Each structure stands twice: as structure tokens, then as C-alpha cells.
Amino acid sequence: MSKEIGVRKVLGASTSGVVALLSRQFMKWVVLANAAAWPVAYTAVTKWLQAFAYRIEITVWIFLASGLTALIIAFLAIGARTVRAAEANPVGALRYE
């Protein structure tokens, strides 16, 4: 990843542009993982809650909040690492190629 960032920086990309590009790539995977996990989680939680005498309804807001939380955590982690790599000297990343 640092070599790709180095090449983009040498060619004139801004730090914010590099962060946006790489974050977008990873966010697609986070959204796909949430879309795959929600039906499984809904089924498992619904079956688990049927064992209780007092039942509650599982609403869509719970899944949306968990997905938003996952997106925020992923963006903070990816953004921090990408900013650190994008602000570094690009020659250092490309020197050992």
C-alpha cells in the first residue's frame, strides 16, 4: 500500500485525494460484509429471543447503527494509517523497488 501511495504522491496526488481513494476501496468491503452479516444476525437473534418469555422486536435501526459504527471505526483506522503513509516522503517507499 505504501508503494501505491508513493507513486500517487510522486505523480501529484494530494493527501486528501489519496485518503479518499483508498478509504473508498476499503469501505466497499465493510458495506459488503455488513450486507452479508445482517440476514444471518437477524435469523440468529430472532431464534435466540424466541426462548424468552418476554419478546422484543428487532428493528432495522439496530442493524443500521451497527453498520454505521463499523464504517466509522474502519474509516478512522484506515484514514489514520493512510494519512501517515501519505505524509511520509514518497521516495522512501519507492527506493527499495
Q: What is the pTM of this model?
A: 0.72
Q: Say if CB 13 and CB 85 are below 8 A apart.
A: no
Phi, psi for 30 (deg, rounded to 5): -65, -40
Ordered by start, the domain boundaries in the chain are: 2-88
Q: Say if CB 86 and CB 12 are below 8 A apart.
A: no
| Residue pLDDT tens, the chain, 97 long | 667 777 777 778 788 888 888 888 889 999 999 999 999 999 999 999 998 888 888 889 999 999 999 999 998 988 888 888 777 777 776 676 5
